[in-house]
Structure 1
Amino acid sequence: MTNQRFFSFAIGALLVATSFSAWAQGGATVEASTAPAVAASGTPTAREMRKANRALSRRVYAELAKHKEIDAGNISVVARNGAITLNGTVTEASQIDAVVAIAKGVPGVTFVANRLSMQRPLGE
């Protein structure tokens, strides 16, 4: 009777261990098979989106740097899915329109939110 109980316990433990191992392998197989499908679907990952946003911001900064009449030192450019937000100050009111026009001309920019203001001289 004791041997029969031992064997029953051993077989039960073996079944539990085998089913757990099979479950873990099945989960890994499902994840591995769905991962390429997500990447192949064309939907960019969050990391790829951040990288694209940083690249677009750098292209806008590079275009602003080409225009020596604009002091872009106090301008920040934030990109998100093609939309650009310009924050900061410029020294002359005419530069606001110029900065917006330059940003709109950068390939990949779909919208420009203008939050630029004119820098006021000290004492005013």
Structure 2
Amino acid sequence: MKACNVINLLVVAQCVALAGNAYAQASGAMPLASSPVASSSRATAADKKLARDVRKALSKAPNFNVSDVFVKARGGVVTLSGSVSEGPQIEQAAEVAKGVPGVTSVSNYLTLYTKGY
């Protein structure tokens, strides 16, 4: 019985220690209010147009299939997600997106699509 109490005490102590570390990391993070993206969770008409422009530019890129690529824009920041069939297309998508007027930065979360999985 004493062994169970000791184990429970150790588990509780470890949880408290980990919770303290998590709070310390979160408090040092940049506040969300200062982020231009966090100021509004809804896309404006300009954001929607920019996303369409990026998607259109990707569709015109040579040997690039845009069907599994998703584009989101917020305040000039473009986020690419989804998948492509060839590795070099990941970097190609980022370069094409950076070349669209109005894009200030690109977050590229594209992955490589592997057939059969």
- SS across alignment from 1:102: helix
**TM-score, normalised relative to structure 1:** 0.58
**TM-score, normalised relative to structure 2:** 0.62
Pairwise CA distance, 1:65: 1.1
- Match for residue 120 of structure 1? 114
Confirm whether residue 71 of structure 1 aligns to residue 70 of structure 2: no
| 5+ long unaligned stretches in structure 1 | 1-45
- SS across alignment from 2:100: coil
Structure (1 or 2) with the greater helix fraction: 1
- Match for residue 50 of structure 1? 44
| 5+ long unaligned stretches in structure 2 | 1-39
- Quote the Cα distance in structure 2 between the aligned partners of 1:68 and 1:110: 23
- Match for residue 75 of structure 2? 81
- SS across alignment from 1:72: coil
Q: What letter corresponds to residue 58 of structure 1 in structure 2?
A: R
Q: What letter corresponds to residue 74 of structure 2 in structure 1?
A: R
Confirm whether residue 60 of structure 1 aligns to residue 54 of structure 2: yes
Q: How many residues align?
A: 76
Query: Matches of residues 1-124 of structure 1 in structure 2 within 5 Å?
Result: 50-122=44-116
- Quote the Cα distance in structure 2 between the aligned partners of 1:55 and 1:68: 22
- Quote the Cα distance in structure 2 between the aligned partners of 1:79 and 1:118: 22
Deviations 1:63-96 (A, max 9, x none): 0111240110000000000000000000000000
Tell me which stretches of 4 or more aligned residues in structure 1 moved more than 3 Å. none
- Quote the Cα distance in structure 1 between the aligned partners of 2:48 and 2:62: 23
Decide which structure has the larger Cα Rg and report it: 1
